[in-house]
Amino acid sequence: MHSRRLLPVWLPGTAVLVAFIAAMLVSRAAVAAEPAELRLATFSVDVSPPLHERVCVGFIDEFTEIADPLLAKGIVFAHSGETYVICAIDYCGLCNDSYDMFREEIASAAGTATSHVAVQSLHQHTAPVFDVNTDRMLYADEPEQLQSGIKAAEHAADDVAHAAKEALSRLQVVTHLSTGKAKVDRVASNRRVPQPDGSLLVRSSAAGGDPILRNAPEGLIDPWLRTVTFYQNERPLVRLHYYATHPQTRSGPVVTSDVPGITREQLETEENVPQVYFTGCGGNIAMGKYNDGSEEAQAALTKRMLTGLRAAVADCDANQRQPVSSFTWRAVAVELPLRRDAAFTLQAARKIAEDERVGFSERLRKAMLVAWIERVQAGRPIEFTAWSVGDVDVVHLPGEPFVQFQLAAQAARPDRFVCVAGYGDCAPWYIGEDRIYTDNGGYEQSWSFVGPCEEIMHSTLEGLLSESDH
């Protein structure tokens, strides 16, 4: 069997690498060398929230209309007697116990281990954030509100789990895969805009009419959209797409899967082939240079994204297909550090979260910080997962990682086709370079609940990617 589960807990100092190397050596000894048949099935289910209820943690009071449905789309893999599930869900985020519930429900339905399941949000800002730990703090005196949010999340998790279970009855043999990529024109731009004096301006997802932000260069991005296609002989079974940017042209109460969801479904209709889209390391990347929040801007961005998707698919089909002979899966439990600055201590965060005189948005942020601190103090690490097939590596990361980590992952394995999906467990929110804590300006550090962890992120990525050789 080709499954591996690595569970080192990250600690300060060199113990990190020692624990990781030891875990890899043990895992390799337990892996059989015989290749086995890879089978897969896709699933798709509507997970749109109920209207006119405050069902998410509080970023949006209520959803008033569904412009297009939110979907959970994914793949069930079967290999060497093991089952694995990857799922991309049109939600803004799943955090803490809510994220665990989705993974556990899917794992139970699919008859597999929770560590064999990866659930990644796309991070649309017209979709729910579910975080029951935060709900319990904010709505302790509002039992009806609390139960409404819990029930909405549980209903969605049940639907996704049922869809994954049903997919097991439709498994098909995978014979080949291919990869392709294309540059996406005028969609992504870096949100942190450097100024001559060394300070940073913030270019949000909709920069509006600010000429300085709209005219500033794109900055550091990953312009490439990457596509992986699995085939049964000549027939494509599913296409997986990876691109790094906030998938947001607007916010507010109208439910929409926004640019990636709209283009994903249009391409699926055109090809009659299942399409699954993952948001990459888009923590510091957005559409702000090209978006003013108007319908016209959304239409233009949608058109350009669809052009990129089609080009990546064409490149995929034009490239030589590889026979599929192996499949590996890795899971690593990681302890990310807490912040030490005074505003991010448990006492300071709880004081604001519980003060009803403070504006709700600030109380919400501090309540989410409390949930994260309590989770870390309880010794509950966060899990990174990865899988490999042929010369393809796919890494699933938590939170809103900066694009630098995606670029580093690709640079670490230039000999392989590396794709990165962000927005797994979103409890830590932004995960950036260590410099963000001392930058003059910027926004992300105000929503980064983790302390400096650049070295941990790079070590984790290198360890996960080095395993694809074995």
pLDDT of residue 217: 97
Number of structural domains, the chain?
1
pLDDT band at 241 (very low <50, low <70, confident <90, very high): very high
Residue 157 lies in a domain: yes
In degrees, rounded to 5, the angle at the alpha carbon of residue 463 between the alpha carbons of residues 458 and 469 is: 135
- How far, in Å, CA of 161 to CA of 97, rounded? 16
Residue 8 lies in a domain: no
Given a cut of 50, is residue 36 above it in pLDDT? yes
Residue 9 lies in a domain: no
Pairs from 348-352 (Cβ < 8 Å, separation ≥ 24) = 349/373
Residue 382 lies in a domain: yes
What are the two backbone dihedrals, phi and then psi, of residue 313, each rounded to the nearest 5 degrees? -65, -45
pLDDT band at 18 (very low <50, low <70, confident <90, very high): very low
Q: What Å distances lie between residue 327 and 96, 174, 341, 444, CA to CA?
A: 29, 11, 43, 36
Tokens for 35?
């290749």
Tokens for 25?
């050596």
Q: Residue 445's domain spans which residues? A: 15-469
Lowest mean pLDDT among 13-27, 88-102, 167-181, 293-307: 13-27
If phi > 0 it is left, if psi is from -120 to 50 it is alpha, else beta; for residue 349 that is alpha
What is the end-to-end Cα distance of the chain in Å, rounded? 13
- How far, in Å, CA of 152 to CA of 160, rounded? 13
Give pLDDT tens digits for 103-143. 999 999 999 999 999 999 999 999 999 999 999 999 999 99
pLDDT of residue 470: 55
What does the longest C-alpha to C-alpha distance in the chain come to?
64
Give pLDDT tens digits for 52-82. 988 889 899 899 999 999 999 999 999 999 9
Residue 214 lies in a domain: yes
HEC profile for the chain? CCECCCCCCCCCCCHHHHHHHHHHHHHHHCCCCCCCCEEEEEEEEECCCCCCCCCCCCCCCCCCEECCCCEEEEEEEEECCEEEEEEEECCCEECHHHHHHHHHHHHHHHCCCHHHEEEEECCCCCCCEECHHHHHHHCCCCHHHHHHHHHHHHHHHHHHHHHHHHHHHHCEECCEEEEEEEECCCCCEECEEECCCCCEEECCCCCCCCHHHHHCCCCCCCCEEEEEEEEECCEEEEEEEEECCCCCCCCCCEECCHHHHHHHHHHHHHHCCCEEEEECCCCCEECHHHCCCCHHHHHHHHHHHHHHHHHHHHHHHHCCCEECCCCEEEEEEECCCECCCHHHCHHHHHHHHCCCCCCHHHHHHHHHHHHHHHHHHCCCCEEEEEEEECCEEEEECCCEECHHHHHHHHHHCCCCEEEEECCCECCCEEECCHHHHCCCECCHHHHECECCCHHHHHHHHHHHHHHHHC
Residue 74 lies in a domain: yes
Q: In what order do the strands lie in the sheet with 71-79?
A: 117-121, 82-89, 71-79, 38-46, 172-173
pLDDT of residue 469: 64
Mean pLDDT value of segment 281-310: 96
pLDDT band at 24 (very low <50, low <70, confident <90, very high): very low
- Sign of the Cα torsion 314, 318, 324, 328 reads negative
pLDDT of residue 3: 42
pLDDT of residue 27: 38
- How far, in Å, CA of 60 to CA of 141, rounded? 19
- Residue given tokens 């990529």 in the structure block: 181
Percent of the chain at pLDDT > 90 equals 85
Residue 250 lies in a domain: yes
pLDDT band at 49 (very low <50, low <70, confident <90, very high): very high
Given a cut of 70, is residue 1 above it in pLDDT? no
Residue 7 lies in a domain: no
Lowest mean pLDDT among 31-35, 349-353, 362-366: 31-35
Is there a contact between 286 and 188 (Cβ–Cβ < 8 Å)?
yes
Is there a contact between 388 and 331 (Cβ–Cβ < 8 Å)?
no
Given a cut of 70, is residue 91 above it in pLDDT? yes
Given a cut of 90, is residue 16 above it in pLDDT? no
pLDDT band at 15 (very low <50, low <70, confident <90, very high): very low
